[in-house]
Amino acid sequence: MKAFDAVLAELGQHQWLVRGLIAVSIAVVGIWLSRWVARAFERVLQRFDVETILRSFLRNLVYAICIVVVCIAALDFAGVPTTSLLAVLGTAGLAIGLAMKDSLSNIASGVMLIVLRPFHSGDYVQVAGIEGIVDSVRIFQTFLHTQDNRQIILPNSQITAVPIINFTVRGVRRLDISVKIAYGDDMLVARKSLLHIAQSHAQILSEPPPEVVVAQLADNHVELQLRVWLAAADLGALKAYLLEQCWQQLSEQGFKTAHPQQHMHIHHHNKIDGLSDEVTVSS
C-alpha cells in the first residue's frame, strides 16, 4: 500500500501526465465507439431498406462526425485550449478550401449524387461518354466497371456536369437489329423469318410485340430493322444471339449480303464489236 500511495503521490505532482494518459484513453475508446456507432447506424438503415450507396455514405459521415467529437473531447481534457484551436483550424480550413475548390466541388457533387440518386449500385449507365456498371459513389469519385471488367474512376464533378443515361432504371430496353437485303429479294419472307427468330426466344417480351420495319432505302439495298423488347440485364447476350440467328436464317433462305455497287458507263468512239459500255464495280 505504501508503494501504491507513493505512485499516486508521484503522479499527483505530474498532473499533465495523468491528463495526457486519460486523453489518450478517451481517444482510443472513442475511436472504437465511433466504429461501433457507425456499424449500428448502418444496420438500422439496412433494416429500412436504404439503398447501398446512400447507406455507405451516411455510415462514413457518422463515423467522421464521431471522430471529430472524440478528438475535441480528448484535446479538451488534455488541457489544450480547443476554442483557440478551432479558430485556427477554421482559418486554415478556409485557406485550404480556397486552394482545393475542385476537390470541394467533387464533394458537393458526391452529396448531390447520393441525395438525388440518378443511379444505384449495379445500374448500367453512360456518363461523360463512358459506359459502365456502377460500383459505388464516394466523397470525391464514383467507381464503375465495364463489362470486360475494367475499372473506371470518374470525378464526381464531371458526372453532375453532363447528361446521365441510365439503361437499367426502367427495367426493359428495346434492341434494334439491322439487316440489309437487295431490292430484288422478297421483303415479306425476310420479315417473317426475322419475326420467327424473335418470337421463338423465351427472353424476348411479347408486350410490346416484336416488329420489323424498313429503316432505310439506300442506293443498293433495303435496310430492315428487327425491334424487340427485353429485360435490360439480358441485352448483351441476346444481341449476340439475334445477330447470329438473323445472319444464319437469311443465308439459309438464299438472301445475299447487299454490297455497295457503282455502275460506270464507258463510251468508246470506235467501239469494238461485243465490248460492253457498262462496268460494275463493287466496294
Mean pLDDT of the chain: 78
DSSP code for 79: T
Among 13-17, 70-74, 83-87, 163-167, the range scoring the smallest mean pLDDT is 13-17
Domain with CATH 2.30.30.60 in the chain: 118-166
Q: What is the CA radius of gyration of the chain?
A: 35
**From CA 54, how far away is CA 15, in angstroms rounded?**
45
pLDDT(191) > 50: yes
Report how far residue 173's alpha carbon sits from residue 236's, in angstroms, rounded to the nearest whole number.
11
CB contact burial 186-208 (16+ within 10 A = b; e otherwise): eeeebbebbbebbeeeeebbeee
CATH-assigned architecture of domain 118-166: Roll (2.30)
Q: What CATH number does the domain located at 2-99 have?
A: 1.10.287.1260
Q: What whole-number distance in Å separates Cα of residue 138 and Cα of residue 101?
A: 17
CATH code for the domain defined by 172-261: 3.30.70.100
* Band of pLDDT at residue 51, cut at 50, 70 and 90: low
Range(s) of the chain covered by CATH 3.30.70.100: 172-261
Q: What is the pTM of this model?
A: 0.57
Percent of the chain at pLDDT > 90 equals 11
Query: CB of 194 within 8 A of CB of 179?
Result: yes
93 — pLDDT class (breaks 50, 70, 90): low
